[in-house]
């Protein structure tokens, strides 16, 4: 089975869309996550992600190779996603600030339904961000 990140940034990086696994590279060149009798002979492991990302290294067809493929997915794909989310706080704050001004304008223009749905979206974002900082405050970062 694959690996899913469940740290503080999980919601922000859509971690369920980024399940990593070690795919087997078959002699024909295809990559497969399915083990069956035909696939027992394989060249090695390649890091893969649910989103389509594929590692560049062919790791040996051993348990160590499988672990190395998982590590490659972690270092080369997952960590950059988390680092990007860590750097994106100010960009998000600017966007959310702009959305709040839009809410004020919508209320001024009596577009209450539209203002309410924009506020709902912002509250959802704030709750997500609150979960992230709460987990960070609890030292759950890795």
Enumerate binding residues for Zn ion (CB under 5 A). Answer: 18, 49, 51, 53
CB of residue 14 to Zn ion, shortest distance in Å: 9
Q: Would you say 22 and 48 are in contact if contact means Cβ atoms under 8 Å apart?
A: yes
CB of residue 84 to Zn ion, shortest distance in Å: 12
CB of residue 91 to Zn ion, shortest distance in Å: 21
- Judged by beta carbon, residue 76 or residue 102, the one nearer Zn ion is 76
The CB density around residue 35, as the number of other CB atoms within 10 Å, is 10
Residue 26 in tokens: 């078959």
- Judged by beta carbon, residue 68 or residue 78, the one nearer Zn ion is 78
CB of residue 121 to Zn ion, shortest distance in Å: 25
- Judged by beta carbon, residue 59 or residue 106, the one nearer Zn ion is 59
- Judged by beta carbon, residue 5 or residue 115, the one nearer Zn ion is 5
Q: Would you say 122 and 110 are in contact if contact means Cβ atoms under 8 Å apart?
A: no
In a 10 Å sphere around its CB, with 0-12 CB exposed, 13-18 middle and 19+ buried, how is residue 133 labelled? exposed
Q: What's the farthest any 2 CA atoms get from each other in the chain?
A: 68
């Amino acid at each position: 089975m694959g690996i899913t990140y469940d740290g503080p940034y999980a919601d922000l990086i859509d971690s369920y869309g980024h399940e990593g696994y070690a795919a087997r590279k078959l002699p024909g060149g295809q990559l497969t996550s399915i083990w069956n009798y035909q696939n027992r002979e394989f060249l090695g492991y390649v890091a893969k992600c649910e989103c389509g990302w594929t590692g560049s290294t062919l790791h040996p067809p051993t348990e160590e190779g499988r672990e190395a493929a998982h590590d490659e997915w972690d270092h080369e794909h997952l960590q950059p996603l988390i680092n990007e989310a860590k750097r994106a706080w100010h960009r998000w704050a600017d966007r959310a600030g702009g959305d709040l001004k839009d809410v004020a304008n919508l209320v001024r223009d009596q577009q209450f339904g539209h203002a309410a749905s924009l506020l709902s979206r912002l509250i959802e974002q704030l709750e997500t961000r609150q979960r992230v900082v709460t987990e960070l405050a609890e030292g759950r970062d890795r």
